[in-house]
Amino acid sequence: MTRSSTSRRLITAVLVAGLTMAACSSQDSGGSGPSGPGTFSVWDPYPQFDKGSDWVKVIEECGRQAGVTVERQAYDTTDLTNKVLLAAQQGTAPNVLVVDNPVVSTLAEAGVLKSNQDSGLDASKASPNLVAAAQTGGQTYGVPIGANTLALYYNKAVLAAAGVDPGSISDWAALDAALAKVTAAGRKGITFSAIGTEEGTFQFLPWFWGAGAQLTDLSSPEAAAALELWKSWLDKKYAPNSVINNTQTTSWQEFATGEYAFAENGTWQLQNAKKAGFEYGVIPIPSRTGGVAPAPTGGEFVTVTAQSNSDAEATAAKIANCLASPETVLATDTALTYVSAVPSVQEQQVAAAPDLKVWVDAVKAARGRTSDGLGTRYPKISQPLWTAVQAALTGSKSPKDALSDAKAAAAAAK
């Protein structure tokens, strides 16, 4: 599972989180919990990294610096959320939790997490637009360990054959003109994921936000413009009908055939891009009238769980601060294929790999899905939004009517 935070299972986890938790504390005594007395537990969503990995070595070193022994457990993202909720109810939650960013507000409002102000966790070195995903009720919960987001991959040969300069694509009109040239040259235009899950909303948001729309008003003219753009691409055959059911993985597989000019996808596909067998490039997703569109952030936060022992919370915060510190995260973010959340580390990443600059620029413009005070309201907005996208792309409703219905559904779900 990619760490795009857009798995189709995400919405289930968030809803389960919102339905079942009451405020409660985790460990009853400092450093106890699931790992046993005298140890501090860290749970994360990276089961692909074993004990010998750089990530686990970082965790162990951060434990040593805090003067404790650390025991780490890894789970799939959805399993992690559910296990944390159950463990919190039983008083056996981990001391430190690395969790998917849209879930932070849910766990915080459920009383599972300790605020940074109370725990001593420091998010001041991370970019404010990334930290915003973990803010709710006037408090911040955790520090982003890194971020990924969306941009447009392009096939250099396809664009060259159509006479398209990717550097000229700075707004929707220029992108439309490029797609027209590509299809006129007999090649395929653009592929993306519009599936009826959180993954579809995740991919639609750069166009939604890039039009100037806000999640608090799904039926605005700006929102309609974004959905009309996507619908026009299907009508003009710039995009295939398969986007209606595409996940980000199947969309990438279409691009990997070498037939498409563009694919909307994320940082996590960089290694696959290098194996694609053709020259590729990456440009930011353009806003409607120019500039970089805000894309949603993916990535995890390092958090401290609520514990009855304040000394245990302080030690957990030392471990968490170490995991997210500028001195630590460069190697970690490289292993996770993440853009760092820390601007000074981003500069180091670009110096080492100049092709990451477009991703750094995209992350700088990105925003959290739960930002702007949405918190746990976000899932109640996202589902009507992806439903509207599906209705418009399949032709069962006009974009305007689909979004009007989505706004009503989101209001009813409050």
Percent over 90 (pLDDT), the chain = 79
Question: Over 80: is that where the pLDDT of 414 sits?
Answer: no
Examine residue 5 and state whether it is found in any structural domain, yes or no: no
Question: Over 60: is that where the pLDDT of 133 sits?
Answer: yes
Looking up residue 43, the CATH number of its domain turns out to be: 3.40.190.10
Question: Over 60: is that where the pLDDT of 28 sits?
Answer: no
Question: Over 90: is that where the pLDDT of 31 sits?
Answer: no
Q: Which 8-state DSSP code applies to residue 349?
A: H
Domain interval for residue 287: 150-295+374-412
Q: Which helix (H) or strand (E) holds 39?
A: strand 39-44
pLDDT in tens, 48-100: 899 998 899 999 999 999 999 999 999 988 789 889 999 999 999 999 999 99
Number of domains in the chain: 2
- On whether both 256 and 401 belong to a single domain, the answer is yes
Q: Residue 36: its pLDDT value, please?
A: 46
- On whether both 164 and 211 belong to a single domain, the answer is yes
Examine residue 303 and state whether it is found in any structural domain, yes or no: yes
> pLDDT-derived band of residue 33, with 50, 70 and 90 as boundaries?
very low
Examine residue 283 and state whether it is found in any structural domain, yes or no: yes
- On whether both 114 and 214 belong to a single domain, the answer is no
Examine residue 211 and state whether it is found in any structural domain, yes or no: yes
- On whether both 188 and 89 belong to a single domain, the answer is no
Can you give the pTM of this predicted structure?
0.85
pLDDT in tens, 238-248: 999 999 999 99
Examine residue 101 and state whether it is found in any structural domain, yes or no: yes
- On whether both 171 and 245 belong to a single domain, the answer is yes
- On whether both 217 and 69 belong to a single domain, the answer is no
- On whether both 139 and 108 belong to a single domain, the answer is yes
In the structure, how many helices (H) and strands (E) does the chain have?
Answer: 18, 11
Examine residue 4 and state whether it is found in any structural domain, yes or no: no
What angle do the packed helices 221-235 and 172-184 form, to 10 degrees?
A: 10
Q: Residue 308: its pLDDT value, please?
A: 82
> pLDDT-derived band of residue 19, with 50, 70 and 90 as boundaries?
very low
Residue 174 · residue 368 · CB < 8 Å: no
Phi, psi of 263 (to 5 degrees): -145, 130
pLDDT in tens, 233-284: 999 999 999 999 999 999 999 999 999 999 999 999 998 999 999 999 999 9
- On whether both 241 and 378 belong to a single domain, the answer is yes
**Helix, strand, coil % over all residues of the chain, rounded to 5:** 50, 15, 35
- On whether both 41 and 132 belong to a single domain, the answer is yes
Examine residue 59 and state whether it is found in any structural domain, yes or no: yes
What residues contact 134, with CB distance under 8 A and at least 6 apart?
101, 104, 105, 108, 123, 140, 141, 142, 143, 144, 301, 303, 368
State mean pLDDT over 126-155.
Answer: 95
378-412 as b/e: b if 16+ CB within 10 A: bbbbbbbbbbbbbbbbeeebebbebbbbbbebbee
Examine residue 3 and state whether it is found in any structural domain, yes or no: no
- On whether both 260 and 143 belong to a single domain, the answer is no
Question: Over 50: is that where the pLDDT of 231 sits?
Answer: yes
pLDDT in tens, 359-384: 999 999 999 999 988 988 999 999 99
- On whether both 198 and 256 belong to a single domain, the answer is yes
- On whether both 223 and 199 belong to a single domain, the answer is yes
